């Protein structure tokens, strides 16, 4: 929204969507109430174990591209004759199954994968004005549900079975009650900060985790600030956690290819290079048509 408005201004156009800064549209209910499942998704800072930093936990950034045909193939593998999974959920299932293919010492541990879900499309206002403000709210309205499975079982599952697992935990958050409940959960835990549970290892059996986000809504092909159409757009996520992060976005070529930004442990990048190089292609000058 910010980038689109910036483009409008540089081209002397009327801003297409005026952002709303009225945070009161996300006020808690009176009285606030929530389902106990939120205690499995989020955790107060005070409940976290002491950090145990390790050289193996350092995250590195790398950018790939995925051909549109590869995206379609992942979706086909994750779908069945009767159920067609979304491209993002299919990609997440592939990442989750790939994550489980680690060294033998980790087969009895679990792998966790989270998906960033935007509540913007699931919240409705009490009036047309409130609905407009929710749609154009300047800021994130996000939840991060996640799944957890034994590595050995993940290795044995078919791609569509893993995709079913992803769909199950994502579906629980794709409704208004979930996001209203999340606002209430935060209110009832104030003033203590809280974090998404998937970001931390809380049990001895907890293996690695990766959070997948979608930037497919970024209108990269329209990001002309007066210097011409862009040939590349990406994200950067330099946070200090131990959980990996992947986000997908459309290629500026507008041909169905994906640009994939990764912020992962080196062992996970090695795993991609060794077992998924037919899917993940390193972003190069030749792909961007640089001389």
HEC profile of the chain: CHHHHHHHHHCCCCCCCCCECCHHHHCCCCCCCCCCCHHHHEEEHHHCCCCCCCHHHCEEEEEEEECHHHHHHHHHHHCCCCCCCCHHHHHHHHHHHHHCCCCHHHCCCEEEEEECEECCCCCCCCCHHHHHHHHCECCCCEECCEEEEEHHHHHHCCHHHHHHHHHHHHHCCCCHHHHHHHHHHHHHCCCCCEEEHHHCCCCCCEEEEEEEEECCCCCHHHCCCCCCCCCCCCCCCCCCCCCEEEEEEECCCCCCCEEEEEEEEHHHHHHHHHHCCCCCEECCHHHHCCC
CATH code of 61-288, in short, is: 3.30.559.10
pTM of the model: 0.91
Q: Given the DSSP bridges, would you call strands 110-115 and 146-150 parallel, antiparallel or unpaired?
A: antiparallel
Alpha-carbon gap, residue 11 to 8, rounded angstroms: 5
Q: Tokens at residue 13, please? A: 């156009």
Can you tell me which residue has the tokens 């969507």? 17
- Is the alpha carbon torsion for 272, 269, 234, 79 positive or negative? positive
Alpha-carbon gap, residue 94 to 77, rounded angstroms: 9
Please say whether the beta carbons of 183 and 141 come within 8 A: no
Alpha-carbon gap, residue 244 to 210, rounded angstroms: 4
Please say whether the beta carbons of 122 and 88 come within 8 A: no
pLDDT at position 48 is 85
Q: Given the DSSP bridges, would you call strands 194-196 and 146-150 parallel, antiparallel or unpaired?
A: unpaired
Over the chain (291 residues), the average pLDDT of each successive run of 10 is 88 87 89 92 88 72 96 96 95 95 70 94 82 86 94 94 97 95 94 91 84 89 87 78 90 91 93 95 86 46
Alpha-carbon gap, residue 262 to 244, rounded angstroms: 8
Can you tell me which residue has the tokens 């985790």? 209
């Amino acid at each position: 929204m910010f980038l689109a408005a910036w483009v409008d201004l540089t081209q002397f156009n009327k801003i297409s969507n005026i952002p709303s800064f009225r945070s009161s549209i996300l006020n808690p209910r009176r009285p606030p109430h929530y389902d106990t499942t939120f205690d499995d998704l989020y955790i107060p800072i005070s409940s976290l174990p002491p950090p145990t930093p390790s050289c193996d936990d350092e995250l590195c950034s790398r950018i790939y591209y995925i051909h549109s045909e590869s995206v379609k193939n992942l979706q086909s593998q994750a779908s069945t004759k009767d159920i067609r999974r979304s491209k993002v959920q299919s990609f997440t299932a592939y990442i989750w199954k790939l994550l489980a293919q680690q060294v033998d010492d980790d087969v009895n541990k679990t792998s966790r994968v989270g998906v960033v879900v935007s509540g913007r499309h699931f919240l409705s206002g009490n009036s047309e004005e409130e609905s407009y403000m929710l749609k154009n709210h300047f800021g994130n309205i996000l939840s991060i549900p996640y799944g957890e499975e034994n590595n050995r079982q993940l290795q044995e599952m078919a791609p569509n079975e893993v995709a079913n697992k992803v769909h199950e935990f994502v579906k629980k958050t794709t409704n208004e009650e979930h996001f209203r409940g999340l606002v209430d959960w935060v209110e009832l835990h104030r003033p203590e900060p809280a974090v998404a549970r998937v970001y931390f290892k809380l049990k001895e059996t907890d293996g690695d985790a990766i959070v997948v986000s979608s930037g497919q809504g970024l209108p990269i092909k329209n990001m002309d600030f007066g210097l011409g159409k862009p040939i590349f757009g990406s994200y950067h996520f330099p946070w200090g956690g131990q959980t990996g992060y992947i986000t997908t976005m459309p290629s500026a070529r507008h041909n169905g290819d994906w640009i994939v930004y990764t912020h992962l442990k080196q062992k996970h990048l090695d795993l991609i290079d060794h077992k998924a190089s037919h899917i993940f292609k390193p972003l190069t000058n030749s792909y961007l048509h640089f001389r």
